[in-house]
Structure 1
Amino acid sequence: MASAPPAYKPRPLKNLFTANGCWADLLEAGGLRQIEVESISKMLACGTSILGVKHYTCGNEHCPHVKYLCNTCHCRACPSCGKKATDQWIAVQNNRLPDCPWQHLVFTLPDTLWPLFFYNRWLLDALFRLAADNLIYTAKRRGLRVGIFGALHTYGRRLNWHPHVHLSVTAGGLDEQGVWKNLSFHKEALRRRWMWLVRDYLLGQPLSQLTMPPQLAHIHCESDWRRLILTAGGQHWHIHLSKKTENGRKTVNYLGRYLKKPPISGSRLAHYTSGATLSFTYLDHRTQTYQQETLSQADMLRRVVQHIPEKHFRMIRYFGFLANRVCGQYLPKVYEALKMATPGPVPKLYFAQMAKAFLNVDPFRCVLCGARMVYTAAISGLTVQGLVLNAQAIAQMRYVKP
């Protein structure tokens, strides 16, 4: 007698949201940003027929085999879709970045200012420019043009709100004669200028346009605002300046793990058994010891969704000779100065390639006769608005008696 098939086991992140109707409770309670509702609705529908289906038939006209592949969500909140986007980004960057020493930096903010950026997310946009300008200013004083790529992280190891900027910069630059020269950065000078740039930027924002968080409810006038900004963190603003590496691959691989995916991986949720609480382990950078934190399921969901970026916000940016508007002009000169061959284009990554590499199975090979499966039709799925309405309808079904 054949054994029963294994019970369906949802993806760890999906299980976290759907278990105990927790996501439905949060939807009903309200207070979520529209992008949070849309992103999670797409993530929960990923890989199901509600997003649409592609229909394949066997290329052998005598074979009756048909196959249906459900569409994916292409959402940054989805760990499955993030895997493909991450691998593609890493491949492109490792191919085009100059083969020279690089240095990684992290620019942080005083914790008293974190809530301000949480309630005024549009302020995050300037952090990239301010951090990059700090490095570009140093390079320009030496007559050099450097290459910079960076990412914004809004979370710490505990998944709490902790905005900070990661930048990787070439440890050298191109001078006006097209000669490559080495460059070093002074940590204390960078720290002081970063503190001054952020404070100057915040003081330039009209108080009337800012939403004050509860922690800063005592700010009522311009003098209160100036006092807050000029005293926040005192003189203890921190930046981290890592040791130089031979190339940028280490940083690319590090940042790639976080940029295209949610802030917590499926492996850290694999032990979750649909309980009302969830414990996870994180590395405390102050004590360099592993700590464990236990949260309710609802609190865990809130920590995860708060890090979903606003629509059209670019989490990865490029500056210097890597900036999109000038990289076509300067990158060939950089390759020439470093005596590098000009890299060719990176092939696009497809679902079939990933399936072959990970599962050692060709998803478009007929399981009956071995012929190629041929795409023949598509069934459209719901729009984003339709997904949101569907999620809200499912939440309301809890009140319907069987």
Structure 2
Amino acid sequence: MVMAAMEATVQGIFIYGFESYQKTHGLSVDQRRAAQAIMLCQSEALGYEEWIFLNDKHTEQQNHSCRHRSCPRCHGALTHDWLERTQAQLLPCDHFHVIFTLPHELNALWQYNREWSSDHLFKASAETLKELLADTRYLGAEVGLLSALHTWGRTLSSHPHVHVLVTGGGLQGESWRPAKKDYLVPVGVIKAKFRGKWLTWLNHAYAAGALTLPPDWTLERWRQILRTIARKDWNVRIQGAYRHGHGVANYLSRYLRGGPIKDHRIVSASSERVTFRYRDHHDNHEKTLALTQEQFLSRVLWHVPVKGQHSVRYYGLYSTGAAHKRQEVRDQLGLPEQEPPATEPQSRQCPYCGHPLFHRVSVRRQISYLRNTACSNLGGTVQQGVQAAPLTQERPAQSQSTERIFLALPGAA
């Protein structure tokens, strides 16, 4: 039997396979919202903007994007803006790039405790670096940290880790103290402190009943995992020093939005399998991996972030309240803070005569109000520790679900 082909994009795969997938898989509210956003992105269902040229009545229409963090179609402008703001904020000094990775034995625990796990991965990595670099044996100064959470490996596997961009120096009192060239902190010291912090908080959370164990974990299994990870050498890597840190910021910007895979990596897609490219970090060769459609959807959905939880966080000299300290550093180093370049909005022009088009109408619809029309079947089991998305009745046209705004046009009757 020949299976029908589908568009080889993340959106095409979800449109083709998500309805049947959700009938047999437990999904959280966040995962359902992400799937709906991916399927509806840049479709007329979310509304549109319309422009007109009054002389010949030529009109153009552009559909709205979903702007969801897991959607690979519409993240470009937001990513560009974040990168420009971040590069303008970076201090004019060398930076180190430190990657903290949790042992793979904790992947199942992460799945049922996403918010707690990600919060404490940020906290453990930041406190480890801040405390060690405040020690006079290493630097003895307050540093700046920019941390970004990633949860996937190159094959979309479960691989929670956090990237931290660290200033190669810090404020000691009111004076700038540079780090030793190509040296931050002994990696063995960082590993031990990071592991100790995480395990301490993990045990306290379990004792307080703040953790949900996976349903197939017995008490003995839990204790065995604790013993195993307590003896392991946790994976922490230090890279640098990089001049100004702009290159690392650019690297991080590619993974802040758009989910674990972008469309250009997908080679082919059908109802039977999805094939995509990845680079094997062992030999640095580009390879392909074929997954069933079910496996592909599961891997993409596993990485949907918790709604409202920040995937980038700032500490020390890079925290929001440390602007005056950053200015002190710039004054001492003799370099003013850069302003992000102002981008003038591009006016839309008629493709035939080149004259400007006038914005005529804006129609906006919220994804949450379109649940019944876009994903009518929300059945299926719900995994432990998550709550099913509630069904909502479709709102009538011209209500909150559809906001239609006509704009006054010059010379219009």
Compute the TM-score of the two structures, normalised by the length of structure 1: 0.85
Q: Which residue of 1 is the match for residue 392 of structure 2?
A: none
Question: Are 2:46 and 2:367, in contact at CA under 8 Å, matched by a contact in 1?
Answer: no
Question: Are 1:203 and 1:226, in contact at CA under 8 Å, matched by a contact in 2?
Answer: no
Give SS of 1:201's match.
Answer: helix
Distance 1:280 1:252, change over 3 A: same
Q: Which residue of 2 is the match for residue 195 of structure 1?
A: 195
Identity of aligned residues (%): 26
Q: Which residue of 1 is the match for residue 305 of structure 2?
A: 309
Give SS of 2:310's match.
Answer: coil
Give the superposition deviation at 1:230: 4.1
Take 1:150 and 1:141, find their aligned partners in 2: how far apart are those partners? 21
Take 2:149 and 2:285, find their aligned partners in 1: how far apart are those partners? 25
Q: Which residue of 1 is the match for residue 356 of structure 2?
A: 372
Give SS of 1:105's match.
Answer: strand
Matched, 1:146 2:143: yes
1:180-214 Cα shifts (integer Å, max 9, x gaps): 33252111110111111111110111353322125
Give the superposition deviation at 1:293: 2.9
Q: Which runs of 5+ in 2 are unaligned?
A: 1-5, 380-413
Matched, 1:129 2:123: yes
Give the superposition deviation at 1:167: 0.6
Give the superposition deviation at 1:393: 2.2
Give the superposition deviation at 1:256: 0.9
Instruction: Give the count of matched residue pairs.
Output: 366
Take 1:195 and 1:62, find their aligned partners in 2: how far apart are those partners? 69
Q: Which residue of 2 is the match for residue 356 of structure 1?
A: none
Compute the TM-score of the two structures, normalised by the length of structure 2: 0.82
1:22-171 aligned at under 5 Å gives the runs: 22-58=17-53, 61-123=54-116, 124-142=118-136, 143-171=140-168
Q: Which residue of 2 is the match for residue 358 of structure 1?
A: none
Give SS of 2:175's match.
Answer: coil
Instruction: State the one-letter code of the partner of 1:245.
Output: Y
Q: Which residue of 2 is the match for residue 295 of structure 1?
A: 291
Q: Which residue of 2 is the match for residue 213 of structure 1?
A: 214
Distance 1:46 1:289, change over 3 A: closer
Take 2:227 and 2:355, find their aligned partners in 1: how far apart are those partners? 70
Give SS of 2:22's match.
Answer: helix
Q: Which residue of 2 is the match for residue 255 of structure 1?
A: 252
Take 1:14 and 1:369, find their aligned partners in 2: how far apart are those partners? 35
Give SS of 2:319's match.
Answer: coil
Give the superposition deviation at 1:386: 2.3
Q: Which residue of 1 is the match for residue 241 of structure 2?
A: 244
Take 1:310 and 1:89, find their aligned partners in 2: how far apart are those partners? 20
Take 1:69 and 1:291, find their aligned partners in 2: how far apart are those partners? 36
Instruction: State the one-letter code of the partner of 2:52.
Output: T
Take 1:349 and 1:37, find their aligned partners in 2: how far apart are those partners? 36
Give SS of 2:159's match.
Answer: strand
Give the superposition deviation at 1:28: 2.5
Q: Which runs of 5+ in 1 are unaligned?
A: 1-8, 353-361, 397-402
Question: Are 2:279 and 2:286, in contact at CA under 8 Å, matched by a contact in 1?
Answer: yes
Give the superposition deviation at 1:81: 1.4
Matched, 1:392 2:388: no
Question: Are 1:56 and 1:67, in contact at CA under 8 Å, matched by a contact in 2?
Answer: yes
1:231-255 Cα shifts (integer Å, max 9, x gaps): 3162311111113111211111111
Distance 1:128 1:348, change over 3 A: farther
Match of 1:336 among 320, 331, 336: 331
Take 1:318 and 1:348, find their aligned partners in 2: how far apart are those partners? 25
1:374-397 Cα shifts (integer Å, max 9, x gaps): 11222232x22223222332789x
Distance 1:141 1:251, change over 3 A: same
Q: Which residue of 1 is the match for residue 403 of structure 2?
A: none
Taking only aligned residues, the RMSD between alpha carbons, in angstroms, comes to 2.3
Take 1:380 and 1:258, find their aligned partners in 2: how far apart are those partners? 28
Give the superposition deviation at 1:62: 2.4
Question: Are 1:57 and 1:373, in contact at CA under 8 Å, matched by a contact in 2?
Answer: yes
Higher helix fraction: Structure 1 or Structure 2? 1
Question: Are 2:88 and 2:337, in contact at CA under 8 Å, matched by a contact in 1?
Answer: no
1:285-330 Cα shifts (integer Å, max 9, x gaps): 3455555432101110110111010100100111111011x23221
Distance 1:10 1:378, change over 3 A: farther
Give SS of 1:347's match.
Answer: coil
Take 2:243 and 2:187, find their aligned partners in 1: how far apart are those partners? 20
Question: Are 2:69 and 2:259, in contact at CA under 8 Å, matched by a contact in 1?
Answer: yes
Instruction: State the one-letter code of the partner of 1:122.
Output: E
Distance 1:281 1:376, change over 3 A: closer
1:136-161 Cα shifts (integer Å, max 9, x gaps): 01221133111110111111122111
Instruction: State the one-letter code of the partner of 1:385.
Output: S
Question: Are 2:95 and 2:243, in contact at CA under 8 Å, matched by a contact in 1?
Answer: yes
